[in-house]
A and B are shown apart, each in its own frame.
Chain A
Amino acid sequence: MAVSDSVRGVVEIVKGFGVTLTNLFRGPITSQYPEEPAPIYPRFRARHELRRYSNGLERCIGCMLCEAACPTGAIHVEAAENDPEHPVSPGERYARVWEVNLMRCVYCGDCETACPVEAVVLGHEFETATRTRDGFLWTKEELLVPTNPNVVVRAE
């Protein structure tokens, strides 16, 4: 009894040692994040982006649906009438102010679902850390994507 228990105990311990030894030679699976890029999946939701049409006009028509849909009140939109000579967006109105407070944002994606013209999209840029509160308040000028007319809307 005692002898067989001892033998079994020794076998189990040796097995345990074997498991750790095989893992020692498997090599680390850690991703060295700041040096190596972190893997990002297609449907990853990070900082907002405001899109343009291919002719350079902004998609946003200042309808404020994103502001209404936002569960945390992170988005602030002020609309203004388009000047017919030099329109900013193809609609009647455009967003004079479009701000998002990333400290409030929960990255739920409701704004992009609510947007009728697919102007606001949650992009892949997630390294938004700064040292000031103002740094988390992103305005339209920073959020507008200069030249990327292709809007990729994820298939929900």
Chain B
Amino acid sequence: MDWINLILIPAIKALILVVVLLTGFAYLTLFERKLIGRFQLRYGPNRAWRFGLGHPIADALKMIFKEEIVPARADKLLYVIAPGLALAPALLTFAVVPVGPTMNLFGLRVPFQVADVNIGFLWVLAVSSIGVYGIILGGFASNNKYSLLGALRTSAQTLSYELPMGILLIALVLTTTLGTQDGFGTLRLNEIVTMNRPWWLWLWIWLAFPFYFITMLAETSRKPFDFPETENELVCGYSTEYGSIKFALYYMSEYLHMLGASAVAVSVFFGGWRGPFVEQFPILGLVYFVGKIMALLFLFIWASASVPRPRYDQLLKFCWTWLFPVALVYLAITAVIVTLV
């Protein structure tokens, strides 16, 4: 009966996860629009159905029935596959994130995680950098200068901010050596979530969160770092020439990146699904996980409502002359702490 454990259960889990993510994305857009509305003293969308709950459905239907236009001199193949290339990595991030504790379902012990790989951290970093390909190829294939500029900006921005992000994550991986028995540390996200750490280590980890959050904003191209699609300079950036469902896929991948980055940050910084009474009622783990993600998403939206977009050169300068050194110093101090304790 190995195939049940190896193929069937992961397939079912993946299917559920994808469905939840794709509907969750739709309602994330509603959450954002509502919240941005409140920040700007408006109601936000409230016409379709109660509380505007019908807006995401209406948007999706509208997107599907829009005319498909491919620019005359676009690179057809790349133009068509680029949105998919952007979407797939955004979904793949979730494969290694533990959504809840291991539960007994129908007599089977089911871990609430699609794949408990031992290189979870590396997977997250690798997949999040692959996500740029969809945007770069889309901007390149559209044969439009705005698209190309947006794509170039994306590549520079993502590559630059991946450095401080990676360094901060390395520092966090270093702290896991204090939690494992053999003292070698771990890259397994589930172990990182369940690890018991002393309170001062938590404080030190949380100190890194503001910096990590800035890199998250840049990696997911969210406002105030939405340089791939600076509306006031580049029309719509890499997605200028995209319409219909292809644009929807790009839109989806942006929001899924947001969800994925929040899920990883929750697992690394805030103990994932852990919370009071999870041992007695494992289902609470899911609630805590979703709640923590919602809190981070609120932070995302709050930042987009509060901070204006910097200039493009300021963005890169900020990364290389401030964030990167700060991350290096953080890594060095963490290394010292880990060695001494």
Q: Please list the residues of chain A having a beta carbon within 8 angstroms of any beta carbon in chain B.
A: 2, 6, 13, 16-17, 19-21, 23-24, 26-30, 32
Contacts and interface: CB of A to CB of B under 8 A. Distances in A.
B43 A28 contact: yes
Nearest to A25: B38
B306 A17 contact: yes
In the A-B complex, the 10 residue pairs with the smallest Cβ-Cβ separation, listed nearest first, are: A20-B306, A16-B306, A17-B306, A28-B43, A29-B41, A20-B305, A30-B42, A20-B39, A24-B39, A30-B43
A6 B42 contact: no
A26 B307 contact: no
B52 interface: no
A23 B307 contact: no
A23 B322 CA distance: 31
B302 interface: yes
A16 B43 contact: no
A28 B306 contact: no
A13 B307 contact: yes
Interface of B: 35, 37-43, 302-303, 305-307, 322
B322 A6 contact: yes
A28 B38 contact: yes
Nearest to A21: B302
Contacts of A26: 41
Nearest to B318: A9
Contacts of B322: 2, 6
Contact of A17 (B40, B42, B43, B302): B302
Contacts of B303: 17
Nearest to A27: B41
Contacts of B35: 24
Nearest to B43: A28
Contacts of B41: 23, 26-30
Contacts of A28: 37-38, 41-43
A67 to B, nearest CB: 43
17 contacts: A13-B306, A17-B302, A19-B306, A20-B39, A20-B305, A20-B306, A21-B302, A23-B40, A24-B35, A24-B38, A27-B41, A28-B37, A28-B41, A28-B42, A28-B43, A30-B42, A30-B43
B323 to A, nearest CB: 11
Contacts of B38: 24, 27-28
A24 B43 CA distance: 11
B196 to A, nearest CB: 32
A30 B46 CA distance: 12
A14 to B, nearest CB: 9
A23 to B, nearest CB: 6
Interface centre among A6, A20, A23 (most CB of B within 10 A): A20
Interface centre among A13, A19, A26, A27 (most CB of B within 10 A): A13
A19 B303 CA distance: 12
Contacts of B39: 20, 23-24
Contacts of A29: 41
B307 A32 contact: no
A28 B44 CA distance: 9
B295 to A, nearest CB: 14
B37 A16 contact: no
Contacts of B307: 13, 16-17
A16 to B, nearest CB: 5
Contacts of A13: 306-307
A134 to B, nearest CB: 30
A19 B39 CA distance: 9
Contacts of B43: 28, 30, 32
B298 to A, nearest CB: 10
